[in-house]
Structure formats: C-alpha cells, structure tokens
C-alpha cells in the first residue's frame, strides 16, 4: 500500500472507497458539484493545501474537469497537484449503464493506473509517527460519550476547523495539521 503525505481530493464516496484500498492517505470527497456551495470544505482544503499539499484526482469526463477547474480557481496562488487518469471507456461494476460520456471514473480504473497517476503527480511518502488515535478521542471525551459531539465541535472551532466533521474525519485532519504534542497542548488549554 502506497503511503502518501498529501491529501487526495476525489469526487465521490465510491472513488474514496477505491483509493482507500490502494493508498494510505487522507482522502476527501467533493461530493460532486456540492463543493460549489460548501465554503467550509473549500477553506479546509486550502488550509490542507498549504500545510500538507493537495492532489486532485477527478474523473476524466467533463464533470471531473469542471470540479478540478473550480478547485484550481478557488485556490488562486495556493499550489496543488493534479493526477490524471486516462480516458477509458467502460461501465463501473455497480452501475447498470455507462455514464453520459461512456468513460470510467476513478472507481472503475485499475489500481496500477491510479498509482502511476499519483506518482506522476509527485506524491510524497508519509513518514508521520505517533498519530492521534481514536483511543485518544475516547480518553478526552471526543468520541463514544454523551457530550462527545459537542466536545468535538468545540475542539474543531478552537482549531479553526469545520465543526461538522465526524470523529474519524477530525482525527484525520488533526493528524495532517498537528503533531501529537500540539494536539495535547490544545486539549489541555
């Protein structure tokens, strides 16, 4: 499994599922064109881009390029990398028929092709040790307890992060932006 430091941005949940089987990285979905109306997600992606780097991996159809270009436009001078999959005609296994353009999306592309596209985009190996874990979240009442959701929202707000992140998503983002020691300092303030 390829360990990647950068955050990978994909269109949908099936793309994320596909990638999570072949790479060890934080993968964030745009939820298609819903990204256009999600200022919090754009702000988070900008922050992640400056702190960790972003690799955009969208489908090779018109919709994928529209989303890719929207992200590029929102980022301005903030650098991001693009990974491109080839135009491959076909139908994803879970679908009854081909998409409008007849092209496979990220979810339908072979693993080796995706890894090659990511390597061509210039991924960086992830070497972070001692990350914040779900056990830490339980210990600090951020998961599994009566007030854990409210506690996570307060923590996210304190860290300048979107308040609607799930426990797992918040752990991923914290591990991208902070060391374990920085997290503990923030918790204990």
d(CA 27, CA 176): 11
Among 182, 117, 131, 116, which residue's Cα sits nearest to residue 155?
Answer: 182
| Confidence label for 128 from pLDDT (cuts 50, 70 and 90) | low
Domain locations along the chain: 2-121, 134-188
Whole-prediction pTM value? 0.70
| 2-121 under CATH 3.40.1180.10, yes or no | no
- Which of 40-44, 85-89, 129-133, 152-156 is least confident? 129-133
Burial class (CB in 10 A: 0-12, 13-18, 19+), 166: exposed
Render 103-158 in DSSP notation, one character per residue. B--GGGS-HHHHHHHHHHHT--B----S---HHHHHHTTSSSSTTHHHHHHHHHHH
């Amino acid at each position: 499994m390829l360990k990647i430091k950068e955050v990978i941005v994909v269109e949908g949940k099936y793309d994320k599922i596909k990638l999570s089987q072949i790479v060890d990285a934080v993968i964030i979905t745009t939820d298609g064109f819903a990204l256009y109306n999600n200022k919090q997600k754009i702000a988070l992606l900008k922050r992640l881009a400056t702190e960790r780097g972003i690799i955009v991996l969208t489908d090779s159809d018109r919709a994928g390029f529209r989303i890719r270009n929207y992200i590029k436009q929102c980022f301005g001078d903030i650098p991001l990398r693009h990974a491109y999959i080839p135009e491959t005609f076909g139908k994803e296994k879970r679908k009854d028929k081909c998409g409008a353009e007849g092209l496979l999306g990220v979810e339908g592309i072979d693993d080796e092709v995706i890894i090659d596209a990511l390597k061509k985009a210039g991924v960086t190996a992830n070497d972070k040790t001692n990350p914040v874990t779900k056990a830490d979240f339980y210990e600090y009442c951020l998961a599994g307890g009566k007030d854990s959701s409210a506690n996570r929202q307060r923590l996210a707000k304190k860290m300048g992060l979107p308040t609607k992140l799930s426990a797992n998503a918040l752990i991923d983002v914290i591990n991208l932006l902070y060391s374990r020691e920085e997290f503990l300092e923030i918790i204990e303030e």
